[in-house]
Amino acid sequence: MPEDDIIKEKIMAHCHERFLKEGFAKITVDEIAGELGMSKKTFYKFFTGKEDVVHQIMERIMGGVRTNIERIMQSDKSAVEKHSEIIAMLATNTSRLMPAFGQDIKKRMPQFWKRIEDFRRERISDVFNRLITQGVSEGTMRPEMNKRVFLMCVVSAIDGIMQPHILANESFSVSDAIREILSVFFVGALTQQGRTQFEQLRLTYSEPFGSRSG
């Protein structure tokens, strides 16, 4: 790997760790450069500022989410099994962004925050649309269900709770919220056959399904 690429990756990795833990509003370029033992000039050789780093970190995260979703969806597993894996993956990735990092993005980069929200809505709508289609063909999801209404309800529920200022004042984790919302809606869409399969998987792999107390 060329030296410039190594330096850029070093900056990205350092900022990724700090920003996800603390947000980025109070962290200065001086601090970042000092902690990495480099000059501000070196930092600005690769990034226009902290927001540029945030943008690239989030684009990388979203790219990873997209890739992982497709890997799961392209597998030969049942719709119920795919749902459990996607819940676990989305809960893990989302929990890393909230609330401090998410608050700073929403406040200081509102246009980019909108892109993140649009990405989340598109991915959730696409995934559940495909899971419903597969589930109906497998006999595990109700064929009479209004798919459009279902998707609107899921997206609205997640939009309502995935706000940094709300999550900052609640005792439950982001991971718990995502798991609970997706599990509740998904179970409501299942046939008896699907619920039986879901419960069997939940007993075997309790962590990815629903609340941790269940």
- Tens of pLDDT, residue by residue over 90-104, are 877 776 776 789 889
Distance, CA of 43 to CA of 75 (rounded, Å): 41
Distance, CA of 81 to CA of 102 (rounded, Å): 30
- Would the pLDDT of 212 be above 50? no
Query: Tokens 């609970």 label which residue?
Result: 180
Backbone phi, psi, residue 190, to 5°:
-85, 150
* Contact by Cβ (8 Å): 181, 161: yes
Q: How many CB atoms lie within 10 A of CB 198?
A: 23
In this prediction, residues 154-174 reach a mean pLDDT of 79
Task: Tokens for 161, please give them.
Answer: 């709770």
Distance, CA of 213 to CA of 34 (rounded, Å): 44
Of 193 and 169, more confident: 193
% residues pLDDT > 90 (the chain):
60
In this prediction, residues 32-37 reach a mean pLDDT of 97
pLDDT given for residue 203 in this prediction: 67
Kindly report the three-state secondary structure assignment for every residue of the chain: CCHHHHHHHHHHHHHHHHHHHHCCCCCCHHHHHHHHCCCHHHHHHHCCCHHHHHHHHHHHHHHHHHHHHHHHHCCCCCHHHHHHHHHHHHHHHHHCCCCHHHHHHHHHCHHHHHHHHHHHHHHHHHHHHHHHHHHHHHCCECCCCCHHHHHHHHHHHHHHHCCHHHHCCCCCCHHHHHHHHHHHHHHHCECHHHHHHHHHHHHHCCCCCCCCCC
The model carries a pTM of 0.81
